[in-house]
Amino acid sequence: MNFYVMTLFPGMINNAMSESITGRAIKAGHISVKAVNIRDFADNKHNHIDDYPYGGGAGMVMQAEPVYMCYRHICTQIQDSPPEDAKPLRVIYLTPQGRTFNQNMAEEYAHEDNLVFLCGHYEGIDERVIEEIVTDQVSIGDYVLTGGELAALVIMDAVSRFIPGVLNNCISAHKESFSDSLLEYPQYTRPENWRGKSVPPVLLSGHHRKLEEWYRRQSVIRTALMRPDLLEKADLTQEERELADRVVKYGREI
């Protein structure tokens, strides 16, 4: 997977992605990250890429041409094959007006060879270049950020987990929270007794079937307590459904 990020703050992208699991994945060649500075495509000697909005109003608007030239630069880097048999490129504009990002979208994006992100700042970007190059408008939640960079980082992180080799455990991307609309069960490690709180005894039993039952039951209980909205989509047995209903009703396991 090759990520390209059009941004005014390439340092934000490079610094965050070079840490932790994504940093290791870059070194191992599973993913690549190229942050391209939109300012490098300014067409004036002051390197301005924004201007006042037509119609007036507060703030500045990023101009279409530097964004477009930045996009064209990225296209030339990607397309080594002739344009007619090249796959259409996914260009994701990060905006609070977009579709809310979720785990299914992360998995779907992971099938692409290349993903291009467009990060806005100021009051926004000239609508004409958005119409011209953007294929997906995506938000990461109902709040407003100062720019799209943190949102692009969130999406790249979530997508990277689905790229083969990025996680050392190949089943973990699918097994975790949300994949089956259930939250993860609680985890414990040494010591067995921490400040008077013991580890649930079943975890020490080594009884494989009992463990699996306990994990599943804890996932159902957790989801009912923390995210009852997810239960609608979850594939539960009759018994699990009744357990979830009781947990929702009484606020605890009964």
Contact footprint for ligand 6GU (CB under 6 A):
94-96, 139-141, 143-145, 147-148, 151
| Positions of E strands within the chain | 2-7, 32-37, 50-51, 61-62, 90-100, 114-119, 136-139, 193-194, 197-198
Using the minimum distance from each CB to ligand 6GU, give the nearer residue, 125 or 221.
125
- ∠ at Cα 163 (157, 164), nearest 5°? 140
Least distance between ligand 6GU and beta carbon 150 (Å): 8
Least distance between ligand 6GU and beta carbon 155 (Å): 8
Least distance between ligand 6GU and beta carbon 121 (Å): 8
Using the minimum distance from each CB to ligand 6GU, give the nearer residue, 142 or 229.
142
Q: Are 4 and 34 in contact (CB under 8 A)?
A: yes
Using the minimum distance from each CB to ligand 6GU, give the nearer residue, 155 or 221.
155
Least distance between ligand 6GU and beta carbon 130 (Å): 13
Q: Measured between alpha carbons, how far is 8 from 185 in angstroms, rounded to an integer?
A: 40
Using the minimum distance from each CB to ligand 6GU, give the nearer residue, 31 or 140.
140
Q: Measured between alpha carbons, how far is 38 from 62 in angstroms, rounded to an integer?
A: 10
Q: Give, in order, the Cα–Cα distances in Å from 110 to each of 11, 18, 175.
A: 24, 19, 17
